[in-house]
Amino acid sequence: MIRKAAINDAVAIRSLLDQLDYPTEEGFVESRLPEMLNHPDQELLVYVLDEQVAGFVSMHFVLQIALPGAFALISYLAVDKGYRGMGIGAKLEEHCTELARQRQCDWIQLHCHSRREQAHRFYERQGFTESRKYFTKSLKNT
């Protein structure tokens, strides 16, 4: 079952972020969730199986100035290592695709680090194509 995340999902989401190599300090996710859950251009969803959060996705909608539709951005998608290979990631991605269509988005975009080769194959199976250039400018310590 896919549902909107709730504050009490924070520990599970934090564990999934840790599995993605994004460790967070205790309390950080809990402090961030209220703002994210109430943002009109963001969806934070969890996949629940056997009463456990087995995966989550964070998705954002961005208006465009040059095109009539918005675009969707998946910023995090993770499935717990104990539940991988069960189609949960595909169901989360397909749900995101449906939400993007409902919001009349022109496309969905995501970033997946070059070291995540299994994830690359997953996204290709889901119909994503690689876009070679992705530029980042860090604003920390500058």
- Please report which confidence band the pLDDT of residue 135 belongs to, taking 50, 70 and 90 as the band edges: low
* Model pLDDT for residues 48-86, shown as the tens digit of each residue: 999 999 999 999 999 989 888 888 998 899 999 999 999
* Model pLDDT for residues 95-111, shown as the tens digit of each residue: 999 999 999 988 888 77
Q: What is the CATH number of domain 2-125?
A: 3.40.630.30
Task: Report whether pLDDT(132) > 70.
Answer: no
Domain extent listing, the chain? 2-125
Amino acid type, 41: D
- Record the tokens describing residue 91, joined without a space: 């169901």
Cβ atoms of residues 5 and 46 within 8 Å: yes
Which phi and psi angles does 12 have, rounded to 5°?
Answer: -65, -45
- Mean pLDDT over the full length of the chain: 86
